[in-house]
Amino acid sequence: MALEFDGSAFHGWQQQDNAVSVQASLQEALAEIEGKPVSTVAAGRTDSGVHAEALLVHADVSAERWQRSHLAYIHGVNSKLPDTVRVVGVRAVNSDFHARFDCRERAYRYQIWNRNTPSAIYRWRHWWMPRPLDVDAMCEAALCCLGTHDFSTLRASGCQAAHAIRTISRINVKRSDGVITIEVAADAFLYHMVRNLVGNLVDVGLGRQSPEGFARLLDQKDRSKAAATAPAHGLYFVDAVYDGFSSRELIGNS
C-alpha cells in the first residue's frame, strides 16, 4: 500500500501504547476488513509531525478478497481510517516481500516557507524562516553530501543504526516563489538525518556557515559541532523504490 497522511495528527508511524500513531490506525482499519488482527511493516518510520505522500507499507491479507476486489484495500480501508490518513494505491507482491528490507532507495522532501510573514494556511506544512536564504550557497553545500559518506555529523544521539555510512544518490535545493524545497534520496537514512541536514543547510543559507565549512563539518563526524535539528512539520516521505516499482508510481494507478 502507498500511504498518504498528515503527520500533525499523529505521534509518528510506529504503534505506541499511549499515543495515536499511523500504524495503529491502519492496522485497526485492516482488521475491520479482514475480520482478524493484521500486522503492517513500513519502508521507514516517521517521527511525530512528519508527513507522507507515498509511504510504502506491506501487510498479509486475504488472497480471495484481493482477487474478488482489490479496491476493498483502497476504498474499504479508507472508509475505516481517519480523514488524516489515506491509502492512495495498492498492488499485490510476493509473499516474501518486505517493505523495509527490500527497499533500495527512500526519498524525502523538506519545505521551507521563506517569507517575512508566516502562512496562515501552510503553518504545519513548512518551516517558516523569515530571513532571506542564499539558495545558491545551500545548493553548493548540499552537493558535498552526494555519494557514500560517514554521516555521523547528521546522526541524532538516539540513532540505533549499526553504523553511519549511507549513500545519497540525489539531492536538490530549489526555490519557487517564497518556498524553498530540499529533496534528497538515499539507500537509507539515519535517525533525524534529513532534519539535521536541513538545519545545517539553513545555517549556510543564513551565512552562519560557508559551504566549505559544512564540508569540513561532515568530515569531522561530530554531531555536537553541527547546527540544530529542523522541525518535523516541514518533512515529507515521498517515495520508496523497489525492484520493478516505487510507492509513488502506485498513486492513482490501482
CA distance 197 to 148: 15
User: How many CA atoms within 13 Å lie on the side-chain side of 236?
Assistant: 21
Cβ neighbors of 70 (< 8 A, separation 6 or more) are 90, 92, 254
Out of 6, 17, 47, 177, the active site residue is 47
Q: Which residue, 191, 158, 145, is CA-closest to 46?
A: 191
User: How many CA atoms within 13 Å lie on the side-chain side of 53?
Assistant: 17
Question: Is 108 annotated for ligand binding?
Answer: yes
Cell numbers of 29, please?
482499519
Helix (H, G, I), strand (E, B) or coil at 78: helix
Annotate 15-51 with b (16+ C-beta within 10 A) or e (fewer). beeeeebbbbbbbebbeebbeeebebebbbbbbbbbb
Annotate 175-206 with b (16+ C-beta within 10 A) or e (fewer). eeeebbbbbbbbebbbbbbbbbbbbbbbbbbb
Element at 194 (helix H, strand E): helix 193-205
Q: Is 47 a catalytic residue?
A: yes
Active site residues: 47
Residues tagged in the binding site annotation for substrate: 108
Residues tagged in the binding site annotation: 108
